[in-house]
Chains A and B, each alone.
Chain A
Amino acid sequence: MSAGKIYHIADYLLLAQLKSIVTAELLKEIKNESNPFTLNGGACLAMAGKDCVAIACDLRLGQQALTLSNNFPKVFNYGDVWLGLTGLATDVQTMHSLFRYKVNLYRLREEREIEPETMANLVSSTLYERRFGPYFVSPVVAGINQRTGKPFICGFDSIGCIDFAKDFIVSGTASDQLFGVAEGLWEPDLEPEELFETVSQTLLNSLDRDALAGWGAHVYIITKDKVTKRLLKSRQD
């Protein structure tokens, strides 16, 4: 069998004999080896609070089970907007430089910073341009509208469908875990420090149950006129 998951040959024969759902599991494994969304691993989470938002990510970069780096942040800043990118690492970097370029041009043309809502549409249309050969990323946008002061978060699929949420957005290989914990811990109108605790606990406990993400985390707490960035140590295994 090819590199990656090792099965005993007897088990392969057995599983094949059963002609069962186990065979479907096998197919899933084989497919997983070439799934660009889970190749490098990583997780990202954004939450909205009372006049504040938070966005956080893990720091792992891997190739399947092998960890290559523990300093690969997935949250990027463009003026007043933060963008989290999980998925294929090369696309994460490509998208980051593409959006830096696009936001810079926006700033020059408009002579003002881009607002999070605008950024959301920019991300969406950029992704949809590659409808039939997409970037393998699941982006998350977070920020506070500087004109209205309203917190804004949203997420996307890899071809630009926007998911506007008033509570939280998750993405990456730990998304199942993040959904579960965030749904349990999040509540409306959290103050910045409460939001930090909620985001951090959600992320940390989710990362600990995902082998492809973890190895430290970055957490940004954003209010209208202050941004706090914290580095979480987390488990190093």
Chain B
Amino acid sequence: MASSYMLPGAQQAPSFHSHPSTASQPRQHHWSPYTENGGVILGIAGKDYVILAGDTRSSEGYSINTRTARKIFDVGSGLVLGVVGMSADGEELARRVARKIDDYKRSHDKHITVNAAAVMLSRILYAKRFFPYYVQPLLGGLDENGVGAIYTYDYVGSFERESSRAFGAAASLITPFLDNQINLKNQFEPGSNGEVPRKPGDMPRETVEKIVKDAFTSAVERHIEVGDGLQLVTVMRAPPRAEGAEPEEEEDEREKTAGGGVISEVMSELKKD
């Protein structure tokens, strides 16, 4: 909006645009190893669950490459990784994390904890400090107490545990909405005359899922790189086995592959325009 007054190819006013604009030398073919594929992801940690969600549009410039690209990956041991930015780097990162988590399980004969995996991911990212993965990752899982955990990163591995976070193209649209609806920012207890802030943290999963869907339908309306489909991934505690019941084969298999939690995925539609 800010630059809509410029005619294509018009000379820019020198006082406001001081960066070089001349092209006196022959144009050199410049190649960048990076590209951006749009999309947005978010993660919300609850008392006993974690939700990671992302849209399924993958684009490059104004072209939609596909409407069915997943951005949230099951990386094993009950952990999920969301990646947004450059999809090739993102998928490579997810593969490496999944591989390392598998290695850990095989060499220690136990599932990695989410906090250990968080440090590991940080190291993987920092190892490429001088040629970074162009990816904003979100790591989700249940911690040793079965409490939901979201770890958020920058490109080169600095990280933090948070309760909610949006990353990607429409992060600036979704973040304040999440502040308000999940963390109850700027909300006060009715009748307290704005003295007692509402306390966040004990929201039922179903409510959060509704808010997540609202966040995405809103972002779809106002951001061209967001849309097509919604991938909603949940990590929950495995339901306790009935007294004396033999573990079913499938359940047994699940316990072997999942650490703290059981991962489930729901796909739904978003607007495609």
A residues apposed to B, CB below 8 Å? 14, 17-21, 27, 30-31, 34-38, 131-134, 138, 157-159, 161, 175-177, 179-181, 183-185, 201, 204-206, 208-209
In the complex, chain B residues 94-120 whose Cβ is within 8 Å of any chain A Cβ: none
Chain B min CB distance to A75 (Å): 19
Binary interface profile of B, 155-175, with partner A (CB < 8 Å = 1, else 0)?
A: 000000000000000101111
Q: B17 on the interface (CB 8 Å rule)?
A: yes
Contact status A180-B177, CB under 8 Å: yes
Cβ of B13: which chain A residues have Cβ within 8 Å of it? 133
Q: B22 on the interface (CB 8 Å rule)?
A: no
Assembled-state Cα–Cα distance A206/B18 (Å): 31
Given contacts A27-B19, A34-B17, A180-B215, 15 further A-B contacts (CB under 8 A): A19-B32, A21-B36, A34-B15, A35-B2, A35-B16, A157-B4, A157-B5, A158-B4, A159-B4, A176-B172, A177-B173, A180-B172, A180-B173, A184-B218, A209-B179
What is the predominant secondary structure among interface residues of chain B facing chain A?
loop
In the complex, chain B residues 1-59 whose Cβ is within 8 Å of any chain A Cβ: 1-2, 4-5, 13, 15-19, 30, 32-36
Assembled-state Cα–Cα distance A138/B218 (Å): 23
Contact status B1-A180, CB under 8 Å: no
Contact status A37-B19, CB under 8 Å: no
Contact status A21-B32, CB under 8 Å: yes
Assembled-state Cα–Cα distance A159/B214 (Å): 34
From A20, A37, A181, A184, contact of B33 by CB (8 A): A20
Chain B min CB distance to A114 (Å): 26
12 pairs, A vs B, C-beta closer than 8 Å: A30-B18, A34-B15, A34-B16, A37-B2, A157-B4, A159-B4, A180-B175, A180-B215, A183-B219, A184-B177, A184-B218, A208-B179
| Closest CB pairs A-B (n = 6) | A180-B173, A183-B218, A176-B172, A205-B180, A37-B2, A205-B176
Q: B185 on the interface (CB 8 Å rule)?
A: yes
Q: B221 on the interface (CB 8 Å rule)?
A: yes
From B5, B17, B34, B214, contact of A134 by CB (8 A): B5
Cβ of A157: which chain B residues have Cβ within 8 Å of it? 1, 4-5
Contact status B2-A158, CB under 8 Å: yes
Contact status B177-A181, CB under 8 Å: yes
Contact status B19-A181, CB under 8 Å: no
CB contact under 8 A between A179 and B222, given known A20-B34, A204-B186, A208-B179? yes
Cβ of A138: which chain B residues have Cβ within 8 Å of it? 1
Q: B62 on the interface (CB 8 Å rule)?
A: no
Chain A min CB distance to B157 (Å): 15
Assembled-state Cα–Cα distance A158/B187 (Å): 35
Assembled-state Cα–Cα distance A185/B218 (Å): 9
CB contact under 8 A between A18 and B222, given known A34-B17, A34-B18? no
In the complex, which residue of chain B has the Cβ closest to the Cβ of A180? B173
From A21, A30, A184, contact of B34 by CB (8 A): A21
CB contact under 8 A between A158 and B5, given known A30-B19, A180-B218? yes
Which among A18, A27, A161, A184 has the greatest number of chain B C-beta atoms within 10 A?
A184
CB contact under 8 A between A180 and B219, given known A208-B185, A209-B176? yes
